[in-house]
């Protein structure tokens, strides 16, 4: 299986599989709002798909979908003149309209949008007013209510222009970065990804019109570029020049990805290359035929019941999660520092307490843990753990260092039916003898 075939299949695997259902929901929302605000029978007019879906850089599993619905301009002054919080009144009017179409559904008016929750994703409707420059004035209910401007049209135009210049490579790279951030748990937003990739191609035309065979080298260059960026609170979005907030640092993990990509290029054999690419991009990156044959020849233990979060929930990492580990002997705490696990092995017979040290996921979420035992002893005794276990409510997992080998613990945060944060701790265990 050639490099070109692997990356071609990878790109196909990233395509949004429920695009028809999403489009239907967009149309149904638009039709209902047009009836109530414009007295029109139309499921397309006055509506604009924005966000990653509108820029055509979303990937399968996308859970946050955005749209602007244009309200009649005459309504703007009316809402502005309402005593109290005019934006709040506007959002409630839109919510009441959508409740006619989705009676009993989870529809929330919050901040700037009205969100409609569906199975596996949420459509956020931004009610707004089109101005003479093609931008939108929209409300914000926070702090007593205010009116702001957003400019999605020039952002979409800039993305399309770069996509045309690079013959699709720019948008492919943006999609692949989304797979990477979902795999390694980088809590950065889609617009920031598209902005950073746009900046990379703006200063580098080497990979314009690159064939799939050149994607490995392009990705090494892209991750190296990301890893070399100075930490900033925000970047400026292409087209609109609006500030895009950076919610979490990404440079360290980008540098690691660059190294892994180069290792994949240098590796001998398809199976070794494929394994490394999957460590960067996750299970959406296809297995090479040689890897499949190798796994089959190894006669993988059927007692291995490893589970994967993406098989149970859509995976769309948008928030940050930090884990830590407390190591104890008998009743005495030896260390309380995850960084020490990177420098030395844990001796057998120690108590281990893994816990959520910090996260910026909003409240009303739950946590899953996965303890992955690996190594000869775990295989021999049939204890290849890897099942997903829901947290009891304390955001912690109590374990014991029993089996020698390289193991890991991973935590996942699920909110509104979507996995939105993940993090892993490697746990190397050494014999106490």
pLDDT of residue 328: 82
Alpha-carbon distance of 413 to 363, in angstroms, equals 11
pLDDT of residue 225: 98
What pTM value is reported for the model?
A: 0.89
pLDDT of residue 102: 93
Alpha-carbon distance of 227 to 230, in angstroms, equals 8
DSSP string, 99-117: HHHSTTS-EEEETTEEEEE
* pLDDT for 344 beyond 70: no
pLDDT mean across residues, the chain: 90
pLDDT tens per residue, range 172-211: 999 999 999 999 999 999 999 999 999 999 999 999 999 9
Q: E strands, 38-168, where? A: 47-50, 64-70, 107-110, 113-118, 121-130, 136-140, 146-150
Judged by average pLDDT, the poorest of 38-47, 155-164, 368-377, 385-394 is 368-377
Alpha-carbon distance of 345 to 365, in angstroms, equals 33
Confidence of residue 159 (pLDDT cuts 50, 70, 90): very high
Angle at CA 156, nearest 5°, toward 150 and 161? 140
pLDDT tens per residue, range 52-109: 999 999 999 899 999 999 999 999 999 999 988 999 999 999 999 999 999 877 899 9
- Provide the pairing of β-strand 418-430 with 346-347: parallel
Question: Mean of the pLDDT values across residues 1-28?
Answer: 94
* pLDDT for 357 beyond 70: yes
CATH 3.30.460.90 fits 13-150, yes or no: yes
Question: Hey, what are 366's tokens?
Answer: 């739950």
Question: Hey, what are 65's tokens?
Answer: 């979908």
pLDDT of residue 330: 66
Distances (CA, A) of 254 to 60, 150, 184: 22, 30, 10
Domain ranges of the chain: 13-150, 160-272, 301-430
Top CATH class of 301-430 equals mainly beta
């Amino acid at each position: 299986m050639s490099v070109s075939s692997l990356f071609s299949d990878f790109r196909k695997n990233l395509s949004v599989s429920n695009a028809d259902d999403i489009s239907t929901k967009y149309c149904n929302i638009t039709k209902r709002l047009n009836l109530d605000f414009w007295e029109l029978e139309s499921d397309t007019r006055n509506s604009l798909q924005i966000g990653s879906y509108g820029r055509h850089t979303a990937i399968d599993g996308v859970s946050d979908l955005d749209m602007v619905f244009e309200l009649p301009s005459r309504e703007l002054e009316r809402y502005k003149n309402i005593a109290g919080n005019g934006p709040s009144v506007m959002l409630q009017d839109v919510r009441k309209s959508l409740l006619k179409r989705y009676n009993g559904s989870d529809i929330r008016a919050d901040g700037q949008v009205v969100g409609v929750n569906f199975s596996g994703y949420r459509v956020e409707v931004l009610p707004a007013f089109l101005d003479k420059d093609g931008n939108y004035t929209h409300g914000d209910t926070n702090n007593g209510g205010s009116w702001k401007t957003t400019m999605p049209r020039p952002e979409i135009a800039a993305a399309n222009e770069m996509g045309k210049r690079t013959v699709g490579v720019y948008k492919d790279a943006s999609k692949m970065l989304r797979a990477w951030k979902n795999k390694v748990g980088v809590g950065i937003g889609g617009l920031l990804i598209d902005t950073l990739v746009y900046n990379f191609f703006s200063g580098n035309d080497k990979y314009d019109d690159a064939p799939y065979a050149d994607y490995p080298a392009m990705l090494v260059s892209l991750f190296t570029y990301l890893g070399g960026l100075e930490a900033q609170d925000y970047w400026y979005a292409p087209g609109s020049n609006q500030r895009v907030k950076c919610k979490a640092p990404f440079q360290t993990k980008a540098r690691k990805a660059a190294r892994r990509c180069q290792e994949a290029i240098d590796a001998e054999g398809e199976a070794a290359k494929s394994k490394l690419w999957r460590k960067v991009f996750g299970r959406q990156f296809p297995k090479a035929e040689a890897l499949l044959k190798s796994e089959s020849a190894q006669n993988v233990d059927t007692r291995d019941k490893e589970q994967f979060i993406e098989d149970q929930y859509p995976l769309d990492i948008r928030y940050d999660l930090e884990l830590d580990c407390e190591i104890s002997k008998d009743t005495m705490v030896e260390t309380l520092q995850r960084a020490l696990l990177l420098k030395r092995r844990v001796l057998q017979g120690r108590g281990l307490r893994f816990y959520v040290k910090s996260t910026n996921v909003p409240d009303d979420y739950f946590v899953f843990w996965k303890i992955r035992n690996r190594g000869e002893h775990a295989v021999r005794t049939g204890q290849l753990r890897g099942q997903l276990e829901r947290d009891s409510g304390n955001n912690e997992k109590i374990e014991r260092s029993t089996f020698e080998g390289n193991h890991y613990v991973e935590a996942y945060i699920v909110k509104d039916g979507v996995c939105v944060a993940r993090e892993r701790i490697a746990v190397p265990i050494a014999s106490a003898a």
